[in-house]
Amino acid sequence: MDQKPAKPEETQDASSEIQETGAEVKSEESETVAPETPADDTADVANKEDDSTDAVEDASSEAEAEAEAEAEAEAEAEAEAEAEAEAEAEAEAEAEAEAEAEAVEMHEEQIDMTEVAPTEAPKEVIKETVVERKGGFFPMLLGGVAAAAIGFGATSYYYQTGPFAASGATGDFAAQFEESEAERTSAQEALSARIDELANAVPATPDTSAIEERIAAVEGNFQSLDTRLTEALAALEQRMTDMEQRPVEAASDAAVSAFEDEVNTLRQEVAAQKEEIENMAKEAVEAEAAAEETSRQAMARAALTRVQSALDAGAPYETALADLRANTGADIAASLAGPAADGIPSLTQLIDAYPAHAREALADTRAETADGGAADRVSAFLMNQLGARSLEPKEGDGTDAILSRAEAALKEARLTDALAELDGLPEVAQPAMAPWIEMARTRQDALAAAESLAQTLNN
């Protein structure tokens, strides 16, 4: 590793020295042998010199080849050593980066699970986390643990085992949901049938033909009596005129007495007929007033029925309320007159809107009452995601129990009882239910005002 390869210049110098040494040896041998040898010997010596020269040249070539081979071997060894050093450095750097990234991920996980205040991380960790390494064993492990926890929580809630064993929900969740939907559909159909019944019970314009016929008959009798009376009075006046024109001096006492009796009789008849006419006129006026009152009451009841039908359906009733006011002259309460243009929330609308507000109220309650433990927070999260709540009424003062009883009363159209139950909600759950409670009270107040007005009309 520490030997340096021979330079080409040094190799060439060594081979030159070897060649010079060989030449000197050959010259010395030639000088020594030449004077004493004959021609044959001289040829042998020449051949030997050629052989020695070839040997020297071969030795020089082998030395050069060996030097070059050693240089190349040393260069390759040195390159391999450098490559191994770089590979080891990269492996160490990757191992350190993975260790630091895993340490950071484990540190962040511990912070999330225990809610310990985060400590200041070393600068090296901050630099390494900037270049986030995706993948790895620990993120996959954490993802698997989270998926297993969610699956376990969902299974535990569905079968009411584990941490959800005391949640109070009864029966199968899916069956309860289907039962709730069936009850809502049944209530909706019953409400629609009731609306149709009320709409067909009283027509929009009552039939007053019988009353009008009675008034026409009274008016006809009155006109006939007036004609008869006029004719009788005219005849009586004519008779009195005739009697007055008779000569009085020629009449006897008996005739005068008879005349006076006849005049008195006529006067009595006129008085009787006059009294009869007055009585008939009075009866006609009373009959007409009674007919008008009957018609007004019928129209008022029809308008009230239209208002009540609109209240049940959640439809506007401004026109019907105006007809009711015109036919009764009664003061309409603000709780009934206020929402007339748009209508009040129907019972079906209140039933449909209730679950969303109830789930929000339960989520607020769970967030308030959680003690901060990891298990409680995971349980609350899963229950909120699943919308877990009791669909059957149950006893207790908790938010879930109160909401379950209120919903049961609502589905039975006992709106007053439902609102009374919701008055006992904890403060943390009241903001979520406040919009729904306002809608329910709007309906309750309008129905109460309409009922009071109906009692007034009946009395």
Say if residue 435's pLDDT is above 50: yes
Question: Is residue 402 one of the residues assigned to a domain?
Answer: yes
Angle at 144 between CA 138 and CA 147, to 5 degrees: 140
Question: Is residue 419 one of the residues assigned to a domain?
Answer: yes
Of 294, 108, 309, 94, nearest in space to 193 by CA: 309
- φ, ψ dihedrals at 390, nearest 5°: -80, 130
Structural domain that includes position 245: 213-325
Say if residue 220's pLDDT is above 80: no
Q: Tell me, yes or no, whether 321 and 354 share the same domain.
A: no
DSSP labels for 367-405?
HHH--S-HHHHHHHHHHHHHT---SS---SSSHHHHHHH
Highest mean pLDDT among 112-126, 199-213, 235-249, 300-314: 300-314
Q: Tell me, yes or no, whether 225 and 270 share the same domain.
A: yes
Of 50, 52, 45, nearest in space to 18 by CA: 52
**Quick one: CA dihedral 223, 228, 231, 236, positive or negative?**
negative
How many independent structural domains does the chain possess?
3
Q: Tell me, yes or no, whether 452 and 348 share the same domain.
A: yes
Residue 38: its pLDDT value, please?
38
Q: In this structure, how many other beta carbons lie within 10 angstroms of the beta carbon of residue 433?
A: 22
Q: Tell me, yes or no, whether 372 and 427 share the same domain.
A: yes
Say if residue 389's pLDDT is above 80: no
For residue 157, what are the CA distances in angstroms to 9, 151, 178, 388, 395?
A: 88, 10, 18, 8, 20
Q: Tell me, yes or no, whether 350 and 301 share the same domain.
A: no
Residue 416: its pLDDT value, please?
93
**Quick one: CA dihedral 164, 167, 168, 171, positive or negative?**
negative
- The stretch 236-247 carries a mean pLDDT of 66
Higher pLDDT pick, 398 / 386: 398
Of 438, 373, 360, nearest in space to 399 by CA: 360
State which of 297, 325, 353 marks the end of a domain. 325
Residue 156: its pLDDT value, please?
58
Say if residue 386's pLDDT is above 70: no
Say if residue 86's pLDDT is above 80: no
Say if residue 394's pLDDT is above 50: yes
State which of 114, 145, 162 marks the end of a domain. 114
Q: Tell me, yes or no, whether 316 and 351 share the same domain.
A: no
Question: Is residue 159 one of the residues assigned to a domain?
Answer: no
- The stretch 302-313 carries a mean pLDDT of 91
pLDDT digits (tens, 9 = 90+) for 340-375: 999 999 999 999 999 999 988 888 887 776 555 544
Q: Tell me, yes or no, whether 321 and 350 share the same domain.
A: no
pLDDT digits (tens, 9 = 90+) for 6-60: 444 444 444 444 445 444 444 444 443 333 333 344 444 444 445 555 554 555 5
Q: Tell me, yes or no, whether 262 and 300 share the same domain.
A: yes
Question: Is residue 181 one of the residues assigned to a domain?
Answer: no
Question: Is residue 236 one of the residues assigned to a domain?
Answer: yes
Q: Tell me, yes or no, whether 39 and 77 share the same domain.
A: yes
Say if residue 85's pLDDT is above 70: yes
Q: Residue 213 in contact with residue 295, Cβ under 8 Å?
A: no
Say if residue 276's pLDDT is above 50: yes
For residue 233, what are the CA distances in angstroms to 150, 237, 246?
A: 108, 6, 20
Residue 415: its pLDDT value, please?
93
Question: Is residue 388 one of the residues assigned to a domain?
Answer: yes
Mean pLDDT for the chain overall? 70
Residues 394 and 383: their CA atoms lie apart, in Å, by 18
Residues 329 and 448: their CA atoms lie apart, in Å, by 19
Say if residue 121's pLDDT is above 70: no
Structure tokens at 379: 């349980």
Residue 436: its pLDDT value, please?
95
Question: Is residue 442 one of the residues assigned to a domain?
Answer: yes
Helices and strands: H and E segment counts in the chain: 14, 0
Question: Is residue 140 one of the residues assigned to a domain?
Answer: no
- The stretch 62-69 carries a mean pLDDT of 71
Residue 334 CA to its chain's centroid (Å): 32
Higher pLDDT pick, 436 / 363: 436
Higher pLDDT pick, 287 / 187: 287
Confidence of residue 408 (pLDDT cuts 50, 70, 90): very high
State which of 64, 96, 114 marks the end of a domain. 114
Residue 208: its pLDDT value, please?
61
Q: Tell me, yes or no, whether 105 and 21 share the same domain.
A: yes
pLDDT digits (tens, 9 = 90+) for 158-215: 445 555 444 444 445 556 667 667 766 776 677 667 666 655 655 445 556 666 676 6
